[in-house]
Amino acid sequence: MKYLSRLPALLLTALLAVPFTAMHTLPAAAQDITVGSKKFTESVILGEIIKFTMTGNDIETAHRRDLGGTRILWSALLKGDIDIYPEYTGTLRQELLKGTDTHTLPLLRAALAKQGIRMSAPLGFNNTYAIGVTKETAARYGLATISDLRRHADFSLGFSNEFLDRGDGWPALRTTYRLPQQNVRGLDHDLAYRGLESGAIDGIDVYTTDAEIAYYDLFLLQDDRNHFPVYDAVILYRADLAERVPGAAATLTRLEGTIDAARMSAMNGAVKLDKKSESAVAAAFVTDRLKIAATPSDSGFVARLWKSTRDHLVLVIISLGAAILFAVPLGILAARHDRVGQCILAVVGIIQTIPSLALFVFMIPLLGIGGPPAIVALFLYSLLPIVRNTHAGLRGIDSGIVESAAAIGLEPGASLRIVELPLAMRSIMAGIKTSAVINVGTATLGALIGAGGYGQPILTGIRLDDTALILEGAIPAAVLALAVQGVFELAERAVVPRGLRLKSNG
């Protein structure tokens, strides 16, 4: 029995101590307004500008930056996890409100109003899609328009994953222009420029305000069939914002018509090429253009590292702790009842086959963005190794030992507690260790849905082509994985009975 009294005490202490202390310091709950931004530089800059404009008018505002793509932001806005985010009219028409007649601004506003969403007037720039190639490629193939691509079936294209799927993206572009290219790859937008420069791909999708267009001296193919719609930047906000925070909607109107394409492109360049922070660029803008005093909110290395460590630990510890508490009993159930066991193993096995990113995104409609959906997704991911090892550990016990436990008069529960679980402990601990390491790695994806953690610097680092920033997430994540493994190895020493570590002498 002493083996048993040790295990829960050990695990519970570890599991409960950290998250509860960390929960107190979770960000943003007390703010009046939460602004969201997508995980590309322009969106983050606009998010910062909105934040500074609000705080300049004494409205407490938090900015959840670098959330994933359009769907994540839109769901979060509808659900109320965020109140405001910058969007583009083209995205609204082509993607979010597809199938509704929205070809004029009043119609677009009316369609949004039905969903409880309001829209500002355009901010002043159109950031549409274009197909970009290097000047050398344009010259070599004699390209001037997108129609010219029809003559080059072997032309290789690299598109952002969003562009590959969108209503006005590659499938529609291919149909409009009857393009023959087969060699089309999906890749991260920020990596695409590097692919283009290295010659790995011939053409990519670009946003027309991308600073890289000037930096890499790209040639944009003319959209001679007017395929790409207008992408005027606008600000979306929840209809209930007006009553919840008086003055918020009026404050937003100050941004209307203030940013032209050249200005946006310059701000993108200041961040991506001159390595200024989004916050500094946004602060400079509101000071200069709106005469609002703003202090860039850049945290230092230590503060950033501490925040991502704390966020990451919260994700890992809560999800893994819950998984242990849930999966061990499931494994026991599976070992005791054959039929039920097969069902349990099948279900947790199927969960494991769902791509991790998809699992995170599935959680958004149910749980919004931030920590909770990430924790649930990580929890589900952590089940299989623990359930399977618990099941295997119990089933692997010599039948004579289990029979003896019953034969000396131990009830089934007592047999489990006193005999079977201690004997299966090594296998159970191995399962927990596997889960823990997977969990620490997978938790980096949590940043995509606003859960923070070591994924945040990795995401931002990829976006800004900043290797140091990528390592700021990747190295601690690796260290944490090793540390977690070490902790469970120590725990294994404590909970795996000494008698099991002896070699038999015959």
Partner 1 sequence: MHLMFHLSDISKSYGPLFAVAHTTLDIPAGRTTALIGPSGCGKSTLLRLMNGLIAPDTGSVTFDGEAVTAANASSLRRRMGYVIQQGGLFPHMTARQNISVMARHTGWTAADTESRLQVLADLTRFPLDALARYPAELSGGQRQRVSLMRALMLDPDALLLDEPLGALDPMVRFDLQTELADIFKTLGKTVVLVTHDLFEAAHFASDIVLLRDGAVEQRASMDVLLSAPASTFVEKFVGAQRGLNGARGLNGEPGL
In whole angstroms, the minimum distance from the beta carbon of 506 to partner 1 comes to 6
Beta bridge partners of 87: 234
CA 378/CA 484 separation, integer angstroms: 15
Answer whether 235's CB lies under 8 Å from 86's CB.
yes
Residue window 374-403: x/- pattern of binding to partner 1, with contact defined by CB under 8 A: ------------------------x-xx-x
What is the SS3 assignment for 1?
A: coil
In whole angstroms, the minimum distance from the beta carbon of 432 to partner 1 comes to 18
Give the residue with the Cβ less far from partner 1, 117 or 424.
424
In whole angstroms, the minimum distance from the beta carbon of 2 to partner 1 comes to 9
Beta bridge partners of 145: 222
Out of 22, 172, 410, 437, the residue judged to bind partner 1 by CB under 8 A: 410
> Applying CB under 8 A, what is the total number of residues that bind partner 1?
28
Stretch that binds partner 1, among 32-40, 103-111, 143-151, 414-422 (CB under 8 A): 414-422
Q: Kindly state whether residue 497 participates in binding partner 1, applying the rule CB under 8 A.
A: yes
Q: Is residue 278 within a helix (H) or strand (E), and if so which, with residue range?
A: helix 278-289
Q: Kindly state whether residue 298 participates in binding partner 1, applying the rule CB under 8 A.
A: no
Give the residue with the Cβ less far from partner 1, 370 or 422.
422
Contacts of 494 (CB under 8 A, 6+ apart): 6, 7, 10
Give the residue with the Cβ less far from partner 1, 392 or 410.
410
Out of 411, 475, 486, 489, the residue judged to bind partner 1 by CB under 8 A: 411
For the segment 189-248, give every residue that binds partner 1 (CB under 8 A): none
CA 486/CA 496 separation, integer angstroms: 15
Out of 9, 406, 482, 494, the residue judged to bind partner 1 by CB under 8 A: 406
In whole angstroms, the minimum distance from the beta carbon of 358 to partner 1 comes to 42
Q: Kindly state whether residue 407 participates in binding partner 1, applying the rule CB under 8 A.
A: yes
In whole angstroms, the minimum distance from the beta carbon of 78 to partner 1 comes to 55
Q: Kindly state whether residue 347 participates in binding partner 1, applying the rule CB under 8 A.
A: no
Stretch that binds partner 1, among 18-26, 71-79, 191-199, 495-503 (CB under 8 A): 495-503
Q: Kindly state whether residue 408 participates in binding partner 1, applying the rule CB under 8 A.
A: yes
Kindly provide the b/e burial profile for residues 91-112, where b requires at least 16 CB atoms within 10 angstroms of the residue's own CB. bbbbbbbeeeebeeeeebeebb
CA 384/CA 446 separation, integer angstroms: 20
Give the residue with the Cβ less far from partner 1, 113 or 401.
401
Tokens of 5: 């009294």
Residue 231: HSE in the Cβ half-sphere, 13 Å Cα cutoff = 19
Q: Kindly state whether residue 494 participates in binding partner 1, applying the rule CB under 8 A.
A: no
Tokens of 75: 């769901």
In whole angstroms, the minimum distance from the beta carbon of 393 to partner 1 comes to 13
Q: Kindly state whether residue 1 participates in binding partner 1, applying the rule CB under 8 A.
A: yes
Give the residue with the Cβ less far from partner 1, 93 or 426.
426
Q: Kindly state whether residue 16 participates in binding partner 1, applying the rule CB under 8 A.
A: no
In whole angstroms, the minimum distance from the beta carbon of 337 to partner 1 comes to 16
Chain centroid to CA 326: 25
Give the residue with the Cβ less far from partner 1, 29 or 408.
408
Contacts of 102 (CB under 8 A, 6+ apart): 92, 93, 108, 111
What is the SS3 assignment for 173?
A: helix
Stretch that binds partner 1, among 85-93, 307-315, 346-354, 498-506 (CB under 8 A): 498-506
CA 208/CA 262 separation, integer angstroms: 10
Q: At what angle do helices 356-367 and 70-79 cross, to 10 degrees?
A: 20
Q: Kindly state whether residue 419 participates in binding partner 1, applying the rule CB under 8 A.
A: yes
Out of 418, 437, 474, 478, the residue judged to bind partner 1 by CB under 8 A: 418
Provide the total of helices (H) and of strands (E) in the chain, helices listed first.
Answer: 23, 10
Please say whether the dihedral angle defined by the alpha carbons of residues 187, 468, 265 and 235, taken in this order, is positive or negative: positive
In degrees and rounded to multiples of 5, residue 449 shows phi and psi of -115, 25
In whole angstroms, the minimum distance from the beta carbon of 417 to partner 1 comes to 10
In whole angstroms, the minimum distance from the beta carbon of 410 to partner 1 comes to 7
CA 364/CA 380 separation, integer angstroms: 15
- Burial class of residue 250 (count of CB atoms within 10 Å of its CB; 0-12, 13-18, 19+): exposed
Residues near partner 1 (CB under 8 A): 1, 3, 398, 400-401, 403-411, 414, 418-419, 422-423, 497-500, 502-506
